[in-house]
Structure 1
Amino acid sequence: MLAQRWMWIAWPAFLVAGLLEMLVFAFIDPQDLHWFSQDLDLSRQAIYTLAFFAFWFLAMLSSALTTLLSLPSAEVNR
Structure 2
Amino acid sequence: MRRLAMVILWPSFLVAAMAEGFFFSLLDPQDLHLGGAEFTLSPLAAYTVGFFLFWLFCALAAMLSYYLANVPADRQPPL
Aligned residues: 73
- Tell me what 1:49 maps to: 48
Q: Structure 1 CA distance, aligned partners of 2:71 and 2:65?
A: 12
TM-score, length of structure 1 as denominator length = 0.89
Residue 70 of structure 1 and its aligned partner are, at CA, apart by 1.3
- SS state at 1:42 partner: coil
Gaps of 5+ in 2: 74-79
Q: Structure 1 stretches (4+) deviating beyond 4 angstroms? A: none
What does 1:24-35 align with in structure 2 at a 5 Å threshold?
24-35=23-34
Q: Which has the larger radius of gyration?
A: 2
- For the residues of structure 2 that align with 1:12 and 1:72, how far apart are their CA atoms? 20
Normalization by structure 2: what TM-score?
0.88
In terms of fraction of residues, the more helix-rich structure is: 1
Percent identical: 40
Give unpaired runs (5+ residues) of structure 1. Answer: none
Query: 1:23 maps to what in 2?
Result: 22
Tell me, in whole angstroms, the C-alpha distance in 2 between the residues paired with 1:67 and 1:4: 13
Give the RMSD, CA atoms, in angstroms.
Answer: 1.1
